Amino acid sequence: METIVKTKEELEKAKKSGATIILVQGELADKLKKSKKVAKLSGAGIAALTAALGVATVTAPVTGGLSYLAAAPAAALTGVEIAAIIAAASLGVGLIIALFLDYEEIDYSKGSLKLRKRQKP
């Protein structure tokens, strides 16, 4: 049975409940697809990324979001495009990493991403 989610909150709930198949729809699906590259970063890459995003997130309200340009050095260091970094930041890097550790992508088309829970050996 598929669990259909359209919001970050629904996604977190589906993951916590251990849903076998998660069908992500809408803008959330596209953001997850973009941010998947972040989940594959090394520990050093993730550290650099979270440091850059921490500063950007704190200053974003003051700068009208322009501080997310701080992601550019992290993008250069990690090799992940800025769009993926910003998508991951909007969802939460921790959620992205945890999700793609536990789930594998089995299908994607614009506005629809299907994930299947990884089988434990």
Residues in the chain predicted with pLDDT less than 70, given as ranges, are: 41-86, 89
- What pLDDT shows up at residue 117? 96
Question: 3-class DSSP state for residue 31?
Answer: helix
- What pLDDT shows up at residue 113? 97
Q: How far is CA 18 from CA 36, 51, 113, in A?
A: 19, 30, 17
pTM above 0.75, yes or no: no
- C-alpha 31/C-alpha 113 separation (Å) is 10
Contacts for 24 with CB less than 8 Å, ≥ 6 apart:
5, 6, 11, 32, 112, 113, 114, 115
- What pLDDT shows up at residue 121? 72
